[in-house]
Structure 1
Amino acid sequence: MPDTRLNVSLQNHERSEPQRAVPAHFNEYIVACEHLRGEGIFDEIEQQFRLDRSGYQFIDAVLAGLAFFSAQPTYSGLRGMLDEVNGRGWSQALAAAGGRDRLCSQASMSRVLGDIPEEMACRFKEQLLGAWTPAAPFSAYEAVLWRDCTGQSWHGFAIDGRVQPFRRRALCEGEEYPPARRRVDSLGAKPGYSGRKRADVQMETSILEHLGSGLYLAMNYAAGNGQLSDDFAQGLALIERWANARGLEPGRCFLAIDGHQGGFAQLRAALRSPVHFLTRLRYYEPLKDPAVRAQLAQQTWQKVDDSRSGPQRWATEMGDYWLGDARARLVVSCFEPTDGKKRGAGCFVDGLQYEVYACDLDPTAYPAAEVVTTYYARAGRQENGFARLDRHMDLEKMYSDCAPGQQVMMALGVWLHNFRAIRGAELFGELEPIDVEAAPRKLESADTLPLAPTGAPAPHAAPAAGRPEPASLAVGFEASHAWWQGVTRKVEQRIGGLDGFSYDAQTRQIGCAKGAYLGLSGMRQRGGRVIVRFRIGSPQACQGCPFRRECTSSTSPTYRKEIEIHMPPPATLGAHDEPAAIQGQDKAADAPTHGSDPADKASPSTALLGLRLSIPDDLPEPGDLHMRQPVLVASTFRNAFRKAARSLKVEVTKSPPDSSTRHVDYLAMTAARRQRRRKTWDERLQWNSLPQQANITIAIRAPLTAARLLPEANTPASDPPFQNKANR
């Protein structure tokens, strides 16, 4: 990279505009480039991310993307920005800040993004949002922490997905037209659940966010319903590394996630991590059992604090869910819909709507009501964060027809969003300490009351005559280990002729050749035999599978691989037989035995589903404090950064000045040129690089309030540029 000098002068009053000044809406780009150049990140990008192509390189796409996002919302699209920059002669000045000759055109930018391989895009986003993100001065600030009911501090994280929908409208056909081509085909979009959005195919972006600071740590871009379960497991590992790098306990971090596809895959991943978790679980079968509802009706239900914009929820402990020797705590909430109809997720029974949440948080630190509050706080914070990203970065737009190129552009927008908050916080100097409540605030007596669901039978009441509950039919199937050992032998015989299939007896799932899993989805009795069914979790797993022809001849897009075996029913059900979970896509094995409480026998679905509902009479007493959520408003830092950056006066000059036309070499003076050898990596990079003898001068005139944005500017400590208005 050529020699670059940064000259900074501080002024109290604005002067006349420099003749070759960079437009003010690109000042954030100049500040970001100075940081990346000073940290040596531009050099790392040039060396680590090389494209096998002539012309513009990966670094050129990075500069164009940074320039576009820093100027938002000035331009309606990337093409409009590049056309104006090249048309008005700003291209060379902006590119020189990153050590390049000029910014690329829209056509060149499209080709560069289309040539980025997926592996390179994944490496780039991980480094950009990880090691290349500057340290936040507020990462350990009290305002970004959660405080549980015992006063202990926590770092909260959340991961959620957002859908990018596409419509596949009819295209003109006929001999007079060329073959039809859809842009989304090259993107790889697939069908999926689009929620309230209208879509034939879709892409999904999942983003891992630190809930207290609003900073984003990771992101992924995938087709269809995405890979949120895999992203959740990767997020747990990333949070553990994040905590260890800062000398924090991973056990003081929790990750909240929506109940994507039932929530059972998230449960499996979380129970193996030291990071705590919170999710909503599609686990409503026990709530359909009148005896279970009767038992829950005797609980003390806690009032859930809310924003008064929705229904008033009540919450209580539901029991334990066992997966091997790991335990997950279940919390149930309920509310009464005003119109008497089901709304949103949950189970509607007897005029009440129930929702189930799974976590491994201590009930003393996070009582049932606070678990529900934390879950919905995650939803509100992330939805607001997505809205800010769209408003300031236009991340919902398409910048490339290829998924890796689109992912690179989105990562640049997310990084700049983080950079604004971090550098904006530096404008405030040392952040003021905030008071932490020392006096306990105990729960008011009015915050708890017994809630008896309408029409619930009395505890331990005999079931009404008539058709038995479906779950009770299967109680006799859940016998001893001996019966399940017979199931294991039968499954192994069944899949013996299928290449790549295997069976895990502990988790009771069948692995297929693709690496997906067929979970234990149900059992039923027919003709004196027990039919045990294993089914893959989602149709997406079978779409595009290279082994599909070996499994089935079905062409249905909703096909899911199923395997059924037939077993004789067990003769008896032992008093201490262990239950197994059979729900949706998940299962639990080797759960602790039931006690002798008659409620256990009165809840047949409890035995079937692996839920231990023998809740102790004395629930754990919650801590003396109300849970406190983070109070930092990170958007204040971003707004301060943008305001300070717009106040700069930037002038970029090159010495010697470049010519308006490129030198055309019409002589083949080297053997490589005569033999038309392919160019080396350095030769490809030098095509748009500045000559080594070039000197770049970036002259910035900055008021005192913006001096902290610049690495070579010093502001007297006695004159802080910003003050907290609330504490003036």
Structure 2
Amino acid sequence: MSPIREETSKFFSEGGHLSSMTHSTTTVQTTPESQPSTPNWMGEAAAFAQSLTQTGILTAITQRVRFARARMGTYDLIDFVVVLVGYALSGEPTLQAFYERLVPFADEFMAFFGRQRLPSRSALSRFLAALDQASVENMRTLFQQDVQARTSFPDPGGIIDRCGQSWLVADVDGTRKVARQRALPQAESLPAARRRFDQVCAKGYQGRKRGEVVRTRTVVLQAHTHQFLGTFGGSGNGDYRGELLRAIQVLLDYGKQVGVPAQQIVIRLDGLYGNAAPLCDVLTSGLAVVARHKDYHLLDVAEMQAVLAAAPAATCTHPESQMTRTLFDCPAVPLSPTGPLVRVIVATHPATSDPPSVGEQRAETVYELFVSTLPCPAFSAKDVLDVYLHRGSFETVLADEDGEQDADRWVSHTAWGQECFQILVQWLWNLRMELGLHLTPATVRTTEFAPAHAVLPVALSEPAVPSGSAAPVIYGPAQWAKRSFTGGFPGSVFTLQPDGTLRCPADHPLYAQERRPEHDGSLRVLYAGRIGFCRACPLREQCQEHPSTKKPRRVSAVFWPLPPDPLSAPAVPSLPHVPVVSPSAPLLWRDWPRRSVRRHWTQLLRRETATFSWEACPQSSQPAHPLKPDETLLTREQRAHYRLSWSQRLARNARSADAPRLSVLLHGLPVRFFETFGPPAQAVA
């Protein structure tokens, strides 16, 4: 007898009823007995639970993120965190859809994490509404410490400039979620309308999205490993400057953990941060920056006008849009009348629309400004522009997040409830990438970001004759200024480097800000450091006139022209001469695969079968209490309504030792897959 007929006979013998539809080659049978199908994300939930348990993250959350409120009931914070974790990785559009799929398998799901009962939707809503700022900030701190403690990426990647220096690139930008609200009548005879989104949203910039109110989430991304380092949400447009300061601190802490100095971390910003105040915040921290600038009054500065009147530094064409930009490189422009000096790249192109979508139009030309602290010649003007435009890869990561996890799904109508969910979503994103790397090991990729320049090392020379003459003037070694009457290090202790910069006694760089021909035929080059380095320098009192000055250290050098005939020329002081080297090495970008390892992990777990079975545990040897079936055993503390300790609160919904044991079989994974997890998160547990 065939297996189908055997199952049918057994069903009828047990009193079941079937209806069938017979075809010449197929028999379709139906039954009123319900048997829900297993959600395709249950296997991934089991894998995540195993990883979170072995790495100590669940234990760390229960010990360091503690939240108590009146009438908490049976559940503790970890129970609601477990539900949010499942909702985040499931991809279900709403909590209602998630619960409908989860309820038939609630016991198995909660057993993954060592918990007993599944909180109801109303209990979850009340918990998120009552969640406070202190608990969410503790969760955020634990997330950031866990990211720094993990070793899933042995090499953080980076961009290697033309002088061989490695830089780490990070992106900071905001993404918005718009909420639509139905129209309500407004009249004096009606009470004021109450909106559910009043606490979590506000009026703000909506972009191309339709709606009435908006919530902004500022995201920090490591551009080479594609890990999220932080998220900071706010109603409306948010506090963009305050969130930038928090993102800066996250990057400083991350740099210390991976061993990258702050001055070698490049933060890429869009035009939202393109005025003097937020850029000064970045420069004060010591981080490098590449940003689009929106204060177009800089075009009227004398230094900028002189550069625009000269020949352009380069011309580039975007490979996709075919837009051709002419680039002008101004190495030292004051960001504000009293602000620091920065490097400004001016990109011009003919106007094609009125008004232009980006930039400022003057006459028939559109001007775009890009502010940077990347040194020249390690980064040419075109390199700086390419590094900024490459931040478009950040948008693809956010698009992947929207399609795979959708961190902006509404789970709460309170700010801290929504923030807690978004932190957990980024946590799971990073963990999903780590699991994908364990499943399909990959290595760091090296890409030629920009080709090498075919230039040879040349001596320092400046034209001292009219431009119509081709005869250059060759200058001798630098003559440094002596120690001034106010004290400070003399110019001779600042070492000239092959790339044209100086190194101070504290090993910080000084960059050439001005090259000024003097009336006596000499050339004066003015070097200046960064105020962020000088403020935190332990040698500041020995170096500058006053420890509270707002200006960085500046050093000037004088170069005298050499006579045409060296044999008949007077003797020149024999100082060490270091030629200025024009680097010709290519610009290299080193990063890890972003999409393949993560999607292979997700597709494998959702394509393969996951089986669950319950195994009865041996009976406890403790004597049973002589209780009737409808009686409940209470302790004296419960009878007197004592205040419970944290461990007692946690134990109320924990699975007991004599509860049935759940066995999960995940197909498609190596047998020893989870043995690779262990110590990385123990340091923060």
Distance 1:51 1:164, change over 3 A: same
Q: Which amino acid aligns with 1:70?
A: L
**Residues 652/283 of structure 1: CA separation in 2 closer, same or farther (3 Å cut):** farther
Equivalent residue, structure 1, for 2:22:
none
Aligned to 2:135: 120
The aligned counterpart of 1:520 is none
Identify the residue that residue 54 of structure 1 maps to in structure 2.
73
In 2 relative to 1, CA 152–261 (structure 1 residues): closer, same or farther, beyond 3 Å? closer
Shift of 1:293: 4.3
Are 1:350 and 2:366 counterparts?
no
Q: Is 1:333 matched with 2:347? A: yes
Give the equivalent residue in structure 2 for 1:624: 584
Q: Match for residue 66 of structure 1?
A: 85
Q: 2:150 is matched with which residue: 131, 135, 138?
A: 135
- In structure 2, relative to structure 1, the CA distance for the partners of 1:634 and 1:264 (3 Å cut) is same
Who is 1:702 aligned against?
Answer: 667
* Shift in alpha-carbon separation, 1:396–1:364, aligned structure 2, 3 A: same
CA gap of 1:42–1:228, structure 2 versus 1, over 3 A, is same
Shift of 1:236: 2.4
Checking the alignment, whether the CA contact within 8 Å between 2:55 and 2:677 is kept in structure 1 is no
2:146 aligned with 1:146: no
Q: Deviations over 1:141-185 (max 9, x none)?
A: 6xx422223343221101000122234543257999997421111
Q: 1:108 aligns with which of 95, 98, 123?
A: 123
Instruction: Give CA-to-partner distance per residue, 1:376-423, whole Å, 9 cap, x none.
Output: 211x11111111111011223211111111111112222111111111
Separation in structure 2 between the aligned mates of residue 37 and residue 321 of structure 1, nearest angstrom: 53
In 2, the alpha carbon distance for the partners of 1:271 and 1:438 equals 26
- Of 33, 44, 50, which residue of structure 1 is paired with 2:60? 44
Question: Is 1:711–2:675 an aligned residue pair?
Answer: yes
TM-score (norm 1): 0.64
Question: 1:224 corresponds to which residue?
Answer: 236
SS state at 1:421 partner? helix
**Matches of 2:54 and 2:340, distance apart in 1:** 48
Paired residues of 1:145 and 1:154 also in contact (CA < 8 A)? yes
Q: Separation in 2 of the partners of 1:267 and 1:354?
A: 20
**Letter of the structure 1 residue corresponding to residue 106 of structure 2:** S
Q: Distance in 2 between matches of 1:681 and 1:668?
A: 21
* Counterpart Cα distance in 1 of 2:450 and 2:67: 60
Q: 1:255 and 2:267 equivalent?
A: yes
Q: Deviations over 1:276-334 (max 9, x none)?
A: 11212222114257995464131323123533226222222133225768432222111
Q: Structure 1 counterpart of 2:101, which letter?
A: E
The amino acid across from 1:84 in the alignment is R
1:427-447 CA-to-partner distances (Å, cap 9, x unmatched) read 233x457667799721699xx
The answer on whether the counterparts of 2:446 and 2:590 sit within 8 Å (CA) in structure 1 is no
Answer whether contact 2:350 2:365 (CA < 8 A) is retained: yes
Whether 1:394 aligns to 2:394 is no
- What displacement does 1:696 show? 3.4
CA 1:621–1:327: 2 relative to 1, 3 Å: farther
- Partners of 1:273 and 1:439 in 2: CA distance: 29
Q: Please say if 1:91 is aligned against 2:106.
A: yes
Q: Report the 3-state secondary structure (helix = DSSP H, G, I; strand = E; otherwise coil) of the residue aligned with 2:199.
A: helix
Deviation at 1:102, TM superposition (A): 2.5
Distance 1:208 1:195 in 2: 20
Q: Residue in 2 aligned with 1:11?
A: none
Q: Structure 2: state its 5+ residue gaps.
A: 1-34, 457-548, 557-579, 620-627, 679-685
Q: For this pair of structures, how many residues does the alignment match? A: 515
Q: Distance in 1 between matches of 2:184 and 2:630?
A: 46
Q: Write the distance in 1 (CA, Å) between the matches of 2:271 and 2:599.
A: 33
- Rounded to whole Å, the distance in 1 between the matches of 2:189 and 2:181 is 22
Post-superposition CA distance 1:460-511 (Å, at most 9, x none): xxxxxxxxxxxxxxxxxxxxxxxxxxxxxxxxxxxxxxxxxxxxxxxxxxxx
- The reply to whether residue 156 of structure 1 matches residue 121 of structure 2 is no
CA distance in 1, matches of 2:82, 2:255: 31
Matched, 1:76 2:88: no
Change beyond 3 A, Cα 1:125–1:304: farther
Residues 284, 225 of structure 1: CA spacing in aligned structure 2 closer, same or farther, 3 A cutoff? same
Q: Is 1:690–2:655 an aligned residue pair?
A: yes
Larger relative contact order (C-alpha < 8 A, sep ≥ 6)?
Answer: 1
Does residue 367 of structure 1 match 2:384?
Answer: no
The amino acid that maps onto 2:328 is T
Name the larger-Rg structure.
2
Equivalent AA in structure 2 for residue 690 of structure 1:
R
Stretches of structure 1 lacking an aligned partner (at least 5 in a row): 1-18, 446-587, 596-619, 715-728
- Indicate the SS of the match to 1:190: coil
Confirm or deny: 8 A CA contact 1:139 1:213 kept in the other structure. no
2:612 paired residue number: 651
Structure 1 Cα separation of the partners of residues 450 and 323 of structure 2: 31
| SS of alignment partner, residue 277 of structure 1 | strand
Q: How far apart, CA to CA, are the structure 1 residues paired with 2:213 and 2:677?
A: 50
Query: What's the CA shift string for 1:604-658, capped at 9, x where partnerless?
Result: xxxxxxxxxxxxxxxx986313433345331111012113323353425364499
SS for the counterpart of 1:415 is helix
For 1:678 and 1:138, how far apart are their aligned partners in 2?
Answer: 45
Structure 2 CA distance for partners of 1:32 and 1:350, relative to 1, 3 Å: same
User: Structure 1 682/21 Cα, relative in aligned 2: closer, same or farther at 3 Å?
Assistant: farther
Secondary structure, in 3 states, of the residue corresponding to 1:344? coil
For residue 442 of structure 1, the aligned residue among 453, 461, 486 is 453
Q: Which letter does structure 2 place at the counterpart of 1:333?
A: A
How far is the alpha carbon of 1:360 from its aligned partner?
1.4
Correspondences of 1:488-527 after superposition (within 5 Å): none
CA distance in 1, matches of 2:387, 2:274: 19
Percent of matched pairs sharing the same residue: 22
Distance in 2 separating the partners of 1:678 and 1:439: 65
Instruction: State whether residues 445 and 593 of structure 2, in contact with CA within 8 Å, keep that contact through their aligned partners in structure 1.
Output: no
Q: CA deviation at 1:218?
A: 0.5
> By how many angstroms is 1:195 displaced?
2.9
Structure 1 match to 2:46:
30
DSSP-derived class of the 2:168 partner = strand
Q: 1:687 to 1:264 in 2, by over 3 A?
A: same
Cα distance in 2 for partners of 1:678, 1:174 equals: 49
Q: Equivalent residues in 2 for 1:204-283 (5 A)?
A: 204-260=216-272, 262-283=274-295
Selected match of 2:599 from 639, 642, 662 = 639
